[in-house]
A and B are shown apart, each in its own frame.
Chain A
């Protein structure tokens, strides 16, 4: 390390030391407002700055519905430094200005939610690179939020208990590898994926990959039941539900486990065990690239495929329903839709208790849903990549530095922060 680097390291240590006592010695302004409306230069990194502030033990507040769902942070030199480095816009607030903000919020559909403890984050993803991207890991990396990758070995080892928040993305929990055999059975990456999954199944004493994935899905279900926060996107939403509801039925086709799907599988599904869906019908054909009628768009089935539209976020009461409000904070209420192997959720398959967070007007499907399960909660967001509506296998990953203000990606990061909120009892 040369002289300059040593000096910088020394300076950084000094800054951290100052930060720890900084509440006793704030700058002239007491708080930093991180606006989340159009005044924000980088919405996605704003979540990282806020998350890391909580992680470092600092207090923060989420001002629901105030200027796009702004954050309030202590006005410390270190906070200003981090914001400047990340290109996040901040506005110093004096005590007087803060009082005005609170007064304005009191009389409107707004509320301030204290953010207390940064959730420990796990992302269920294989370590090896796959020919598709994962919107959540892209968002977390870009925002500068640390996470731990976990996969089947870790889940089977019981590691999920170490985390507060688990994300699932493109995984097929029915063990049929998204039926990629239809188009990619000869592709080297697919064959490699099959081999690795089969080896993991054997290692853990399972006869087939579908059996392994059912057990993994069961452990994820239990994680939520015991108080975990689950966020899932794309195909993981639909297949996790199918796997949980079909725990005692053969729902995999013969290419995956050597035996055909149970012809009566539909009637044997136990939807009481599922988190979000009910009475869905399985796709029986191994040659039709769809899992069930949960997905409204059926992107990979010619003839069933539905065009993309836009989806609208619901406007919840911030004071009465803070959790749903947190999940829909955005500077845009109408967002362009985007495909995934599961793009949307048909209304007919939703359980009565599901909270719909975003829907496409007039369509028989919804986009973004949330609910409680046991002591925990789940949130499902259809589609693969909010800034790459037609994302295909082999497409390059999205560079979020080109989409700093993406409202679609903001919804993902809302989910990362909402477990940090100090819960308020629901008034209704």
Chain B
């Protein structure tokens, strides 16, 4: 073998040996780096930053230095030694010029230290090392935005526009910048652009645009609703409506979304939220939209329930027909018949409801049967046929005839004696039951037809007339007058007739000042006066309440109202 051949052989042997050694060597280096980083992280977590720093620094020499650099940066900041970051970081940047995170760390550290000159130099060096790359502009703008330096961020974005020809790669930063500057509509426009490419940013858009002042919100809405329809923008607008307190308008943003799985998910989520908040009309619309894309019996039942709750029993019957149960009669009896019986009763078709319940009778437990009989009975009440209502309960057996529902029927007829006895059996605690129990306990005697008529009118859904009847009944039943007037006032509030309610509250306070309803009536009266801007009388009412009823549980609320009127606590704009 000649000298050249021997040399070649030696090099090949060395290379081979180097390769044999290199593989385990790389693994060992990685292992060593991992060990160092873990140990350094432990020290950092226990607040021993000075001990962690040399370990992080050693780990930065390893094959994957990112975690070590981040730890190094954090620990140095904790002890105020940020100056020590730059030499090792610059070495790393020289080795890995394409690693954007390393440049970003340098920028944010220099910015935090207020080193304006070196900061500009670092940015320029990064731009020069990666021409045409939007990363330097994007990352620098982000750093500046995070520190609230909007003017400086704006300059960087303008540079990007000049250097790159557009800011399409920085739309998120542009959107955030404009929001930070209070340019809400311009920000919404930029968000539209950013969301078109990354719909997942909808929550970021909501966060940024949440402080939009009320007078500008319509312009933001128009921006997001403008054609072409963009799902990301629509989702963001729905989220914004939620945080602006106009959740109902969120549906306007969502309703026109193209029917696909993403939209169905958005509709179902919106519907669920509306369902939880008792916004039944919105829940029904959202679930209905989802159902039009894909039939789902479980969702259809929720939509039908929302329809009943929102006062559309006819729609409920169409949304969840009995046929959805298939051939499973037990399932139909358990899930569909109660809904249908209720809807039919509300529609004033108690006979059909009765027949339906009878058809599935064998599947019901006595308790379920009694509940359905009550639905049917209420159906008869709505038609004004009290005889049939009573018979429906009798037919349900002992559970029906002696039930709370029978107590209600007795009350409707003005039979206080029976009502007192049976209403106490109510298993569920509802405001209506509490009111009825309170009244029958307070009214003397065994009969009060005027009161019964008022409750019956309310049960038939005519709350405006019911309010008048409760008010009239107060004159005939002095013992329960304040409660009857308070009920009438509640109905007036529900009917958005605050002036009518104020008259009734005033009557309670002035004519029944010692009644249990007087403190709450006076508190409501004071709140209404405050809303109207009549601060002086509101204060007088609140002071009167506190001084006249010092042991009332409402006194703390009255004191808080007083503080709000007097603006002695934050957020007390009158």
Is B329 an interface residue, CB under 8 A from the partner?
no
Q: Pick from B161-169, B346-354, B561-569 the stretch touching chain A.
A: B561-569
Q: Pick from A52-60, A362-370, A395-403 the stretch touching chain B.
A: A395-403
Asked whether A141 lies within 8 Å of B151 as measured between CB atoms, the reply is no
Chain A residue with Cβ nearest B538: A5
Which residues does chain B contribute within 8 Å of A86, judged by CB atoms? 559
Q: Pick from A29-37, A179-187, A225-233, A338-346 the stretch touching chain B.
A: A179-187
Question: What mask results when residues 395 to 414 of chain A are scored 1 for a CB within 8 Å of chain B, else 0?
Answer: 01111110000000000000
CA distance A5 to B78 in the complex (A): 62
Which residues does chain B contribute within 8 Å of A142, judged by CB atoms? 563, 568-569
Asked whether B182 lies within 8 Å of A1 as measured between CB atoms, the reply is no
Given A85-B547, A186-B150, do A5 and B562 touch, yes or no (CB 8 Å)?
A: no
Instruction: State which size class the interface on B falls in.
Output: 35 or more
CA distance A239 to B537 in the complex (A): 46
Q: Would you list which residues of chain A between 180 and 199 have a CB under 8 Å from chain B?
A: 182-188
Asked whether B182 lies within 8 Å of A401 as measured between CB atoms, the reply is no
Q: Would you list which residues of chain A between 1 and 23 have a CB under 8 Å from chain B?
A: 1-2, 4-5, 8-9
Question: What mask results when residues 527 to 550 of chain B are scored 1 for a CB within 8 Å of chain A, else 0?
Answer: 000000000110011011011001
Asked whether B149 lies within 8 Å of A398 as measured between CB atoms, the reply is no
Point out the residue from B80, B151, B555 that lies within 8 Å of A303, measured CB to CB: B80
Asked whether B148 lies within 8 Å of A187 as measured between CB atoms, the reply is yes
Chain B residue with Cβ nearest A3: B510
Asked whether A287 lies within 8 Å of B113 as measured between CB atoms, the reply is yes
Which residues does chain B contribute within 8 Å of A303, judged by CB atoms? 77-81
Point out the residue from A8, A133, A187 that lies within 8 Å of B543, measured CB to CB: A8
Which residues does chain B contribute within 8 Å of A187, judged by CB atoms? 148, 150
CA distance A138 to B510 in the complex (A): 36
Given A399-B570, A401-B560, do A188 and B78 touch, yes or no (CB 8 Å)?
A: no
Is A260 an interface residue, CB under 8 A from the partner?
no
Asked whether B537 lies within 8 Å of A4 as measured between CB atoms, the reply is yes
Question: Closest Cβ of chain B: how far from A7's Cβ, in Å?
Answer: 8
Which residues does chain B contribute within 8 Å of A424, judged by CB atoms? none
CA distance A301 to B79 in the complex (A): 9
Point out the residue from B80, B153, B563 that lies within 8 Å of A401, measured CB to CB: B563
Question: Closest Cβ of chain A: how far from B330's Cβ, in Å?
Answer: 54
Asked whether B570 lies within 8 Å of A85 as measured between CB atoms, the reply is no
Is A286 an interface residue, CB under 8 A from the partner?
yes
Question: Closest Cβ of chain A: how far from B525's Cβ, in Å?
Answer: 10
CA distance A304 to B537 in the complex (A): 55
Asked whether B571 lies within 8 Å of A399 as measured between CB atoms, the reply is yes
Asked whether A85 lies within 8 Å of B567 as measured between CB atoms, the reply is no
Given A186-B152, A396-B570, do A301 and B80 touch, yes or no (CB 8 Å)?
A: yes
Is B215 an interface residue, CB under 8 A from the partner?
no
Is A101 an interface residue, CB under 8 A from the partner?
no
Which residues does chain A contribute within 8 Å of B540, judged by CB atoms? 4-5, 8-9
Asked whether B537 lies within 8 Å of A5 as measured between CB atoms, the reply is yes
The number of chain A residues with a CB under 8 A from chain B is 35
CA distance A401 to B193 in the complex (A): 46
Q: Which of B114, B506, B543 has the largest number of chain A CB atoms within 10 A? A: B114
Q: Would you list which residues of chain A between 105 and 148 have a CB under 8 Å from chain B?
A: 133, 138, 141-142, 144
CA distance A185 to B556 in the complex (A): 44
CA distance A64 to B274 in the complex (A): 58
Chain A residue with Cβ nearest B563: A401
Asked whether B570 lies within 8 Å of A302 as measured between CB atoms, the reply is no
Which residues does chain B contribute within 8 Å of A4, judged by CB atoms? 506, 510, 537, 540-541
Point out the residue from B148, B152, B546 that lies within 8 Å of A85, measured CB to CB: B546
Asked whether B114 lies within 8 Å of A286 as measured between CB atoms, the reply is yes
Is B424 an interface residue, CB under 8 A from the partner?
no
Is B147 an interface residue, CB under 8 A from the partner?
yes
Asked whether A144 lies within 8 Å of B547 as measured between CB atoms, the reply is no
Which residues does chain A contribute within 8 Å of B149, judged by CB atoms? 185-186
Q: Would you list which residues of chain A between 141 and 185 have a CB under 8 Å from chain B?
A: 141-142, 144, 182-185
Question: Closest Cβ of chain A: how far from B556's Cβ, in Å?
Answer: 8
CA distance A178 to B546 in the complex (A): 45
Given A186-B149, A286-B114, do A138 and B570 touch, yes or no (CB 8 Å)?
A: yes
CA distance A85 to B560 in the complex (A): 11
Question: What mask results when residues 126 to 147 of chain B are scored 1 for a CB within 8 Å of chain A, else 0?
Answer: 0000000000000000001001
Is A376 an interface residue, CB under 8 A from the partner?
no
Question: Closest Cβ of chain A: how far from B505's Cβ, in Å?
Answer: 12
Question: Closest Cβ of chain A: how far from B499's Cβ, in Å?
Answer: 14
Question: Closest Cβ of chain A: how far from B155's Cβ, in Å?
Answer: 11
Given A185-B149, A286-B114, A303-B81, do A397 and B570 touch, yes or no (CB 8 Å)?
A: yes
Which residues does chain A contribute within 8 Å of B562, judged by CB atoms? 85
Question: Closest Cβ of chain A: how far from B163's Cβ, in Å?
Answer: 22
Question: Closest Cβ of chain B: how far from A81's Cβ, in Å?
Answer: 6
CA distance A183 to B152 in the complex (A): 12
Point out the residue from B81, B147, B547, B560 that lies within 8 Å of A183, measured CB to CB: B147
Which residues does chain A contribute within 8 Å of B148, judged by CB atoms? 183-184, 186-187
Question: Closest Cβ of chain B: how far from A141's Cβ, in Å?
Answer: 5
Question: Closest Cβ of chain A: how far from B148's Cβ, in Å?
Answer: 5
Question: Closest Cβ of chain A: how far from B113's Cβ, in Å?
Answer: 6
Question: Closest Cβ of chain B: how far from A40's Cβ, in Å?
Answer: 15
Asked whether B114 lies within 8 Å of A287 as measured between CB atoms, the reply is yes
Asked whether A400 lies within 8 Å of B569 as measured between CB atoms, the reply is yes
Asked whether B568 lies within 8 Å of A84 as measured between CB atoms, the reply is no
Question: What mask results when residues 103 to 142 of chain B are scored 1 for a CB within 8 Å of chain A, else 0?
Answer: 0000000000111000000000000000000000000000
Asked whether A401 lies within 8 Å of B536 as measured between CB atoms, the reply is no
CA distance A76 to B144 in the complex (A): 62
Which residues does chain A contribute within 8 Å of B569, judged by CB atoms? 141-142, 399-401
Is A87 an interface residue, CB under 8 A from the partner?
yes
Point out the residue from B506, B544, B568, B571 that lies within 8 Å of A141, measured CB to CB: B568
Question: Closest Cβ of chain A: how far from B527's Cβ, in Å?
Answer: 16
Chain B residue with Cβ nearest A181: B114
Given A186-B148, A303-B80, A401-B569, do A87 and B559 touch, yes or no (CB 8 Å)?
A: yes
Which residues does chain B contribute within 8 Å of A400, judged by CB atoms? 569
Q: Would you list which residues of chain B between 462 and 508 have a CB under 8 Å from chain A?
A: 506
CA distance A287 to B83 in the complex (A): 13
CA distance A133 to B570 in the complex (A): 10
Chain B residue with Cβ nearest A398: B570
Asked whether B550 lies within 8 Å of A84 as measured between CB atoms, the reply is yes
Asked whether A85 lies within 8 Å of B543 as measured between CB atoms, the reply is yes
Which residues does chain B contribute within 8 Å of A401, judged by CB atoms? 559-560, 563, 569
Question: Closest Cβ of chain B: how far from A193's Cβ, in Å?
Answer: 14
Question: Closest Cβ of chain A: how far from B274's Cβ, in Å?
Answer: 29
Can you name 13 A-B residue pairings with CB atoms under 8 Å?
A4-B541, A5-B536, A8-B540, A84-B547, A84-B550, A85-B546, A87-B556, A142-B563, A142-B569, A144-B566, A186-B144, A303-B77, A398-B570
Give me the interface of A with B, judged by CB distance under 8 Å. 1-2, 4-5, 8-9, 81, 84-87, 133, 138, 141-142, 144, 182-188, 286-287, 301-304, 396-401
Given A186-B153, A187-B150, A303-B80, 12 more A-B residue pairs with CB atoms under 8 Å apart are: A4-B510, A142-B563, A142-B568, A144-B568, A183-B148, A186-B150, A287-B115, A302-B78, A303-B79, A397-B570, A399-B569, A401-B569
Give me the interface of B with A, judged by CB distance under 8 Å. 77-81, 113-115, 144, 147-153, 181-182, 506, 510, 536-537, 540-541, 543-544, 546-547, 550, 555-556, 559-560, 562-563, 566-571
Closest 9 CB pairs of A and B: A303-B80, A287-B114, A8-B540, A397-B570, A186-B149, A5-B537, A186-B150, A303-B79, A186-B151
